[in-house]
């Protein structure tokens, strides 16, 4: 069991399906410093490794929500107290303009940390003790569906080569085919996340032209797939998970 971090709509869908009820659902507060169209995107405000790094602009409301959960969900007291001990407040203000909105949108795999490093939150750089790899794509997490410590899916050609060059198993898929309101398209990495041994997707794979390749790649890793609704994939800013 663990804690699932996502936006309000995604958590509502997960609760409705009642397939992850043993976990704690943590609704990440809106981020008023980034573009309003993506203010509810978890991966612009939170980064999780051994600690949970939180953007300073949402830190007070994040802590307030945690306190409410501790008071109202005694069955999950141990998990929530564990979360409380792992929270690190960031130091950098964000901005609506790229790349000043990407400080938390990084990827940590088994032996490497990937991001556009000049814009990474300083607390994250201090807290992550592994090789740090520069990427041109600042929306590194949005562009990467992390399936395991060693396997990812991406539609970004440059990222795919960086991951492969560092020994990771990569499935490169077509760009687009993911809905993001107000934009031409969203990112596949932003439409879900892995919860224990399940890949949870905000939408149905059948609408993606690479659906069969994605299913095969995911199943070969021993993961099952949960689709939250029968519509095209929706970029919700990633579903993040802390195993407590």
Note the pLDDT of residue 185.
Answer: 96
What pairs with residue 240 in β-bridges?
5
Q: Which residue stretches of the chain are H helix?
A: 8-17, 59-72, 77-86, 122-127, 157-165, 211-220
Domains of the chain: 2-243 (3.75.10)
Note the pLDDT of residue 242.
Answer: 97
Note the pLDDT of residue 244.
Answer: 86
Compute and round to an integer the Cα radius of gyration of the chain: 17
pLDDT in tens, 31-57: 999 999 999 999 999 999 999 999 999
What pairs with residue 195 in β-bridges?
198
How far is the C-alpha of 55 from the C-alpha of 103, rounded, in Å? Answer: 9
Q: Look-up: residue for tokens 């960031």?
A: 90
CA atoms within 13 A on the CB side of 16: 10
Whether residue 1 contacts residue 195, with contact meaning beta carbons closer than 8 Å, is answered with no
User: 153, 230, 235, 223: which is closest to 194 by C-alpha?
Assistant: 223
Check residue 98 and report its DSSP letter. T
Burial 189-203, CB ≥16 within 10 A → b, else e: bbbbbbbeebbbbbb
0.95 exceeded by pTM:
yes
**Regions of the chain short of the pLDDT cut 50:** none
Note the Cα 74 to chain centre separation in Å: 26
> Positive or negative CA dihedral for 148, 113, 45, 48?
positive
How far is the C-alpha of 21 from the C-alpha of 237, rounded, in Å? Answer: 21
Burial of residue 136, with CB atoms counted within 10 A of its CB: 0-12 exposed, 13-18 middle, 19 or more buried: exposed
């Amino acid at each position: 069991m663990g804690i699932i971090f996502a936006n309000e709509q995604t958590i509502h869908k997960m609760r409705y399906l009642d397939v992850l009820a043993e976990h704690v659902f943590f609704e990440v507060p809106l981020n008023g410093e980034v573009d309003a169209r993506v203010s509810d995107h978890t991966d612009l405000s939170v980064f999780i490794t051994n600690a949970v790094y939180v953007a300073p602009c949402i830190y007070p409301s994040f802590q307030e929500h945690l306190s409410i959960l501790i008071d109202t969900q005694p069955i999950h007291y141990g998990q929530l107290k564990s979360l409380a001990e792992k929270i690190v407040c960031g130091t950098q203000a964000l901005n609506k303009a790229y790349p000043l909105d990407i400080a938390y949108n990084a990827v940590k795999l088994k032996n490497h940390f990937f991001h556009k490093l000049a814009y990474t939150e300083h607390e994250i750089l201090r807290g992550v003790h592994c090789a740090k790899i520069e990427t041109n794509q600042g929306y590194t997490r949005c562009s990467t569906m992390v399936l395991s410590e060693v396997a990812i899916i991406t539609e970004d050609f440059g990222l795919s080569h960086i991951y492969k060059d560092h020994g990771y198993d990569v499935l490169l898929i077509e760009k687009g085919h993911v809905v993001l309101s107000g934009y031409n398209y969203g990112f596949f990495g932003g439409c879900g996340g892995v919860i224990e041994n399940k890949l949870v997707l905000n939408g149905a794979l059948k609408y993606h032209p690479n659906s069969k390749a994605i299913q095969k790649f995911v199943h070969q890793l021993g993961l099952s797939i949960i689709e939250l609704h029968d519509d095209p994939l929706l970029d919700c800013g990633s579903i993040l998970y802390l195993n407590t």
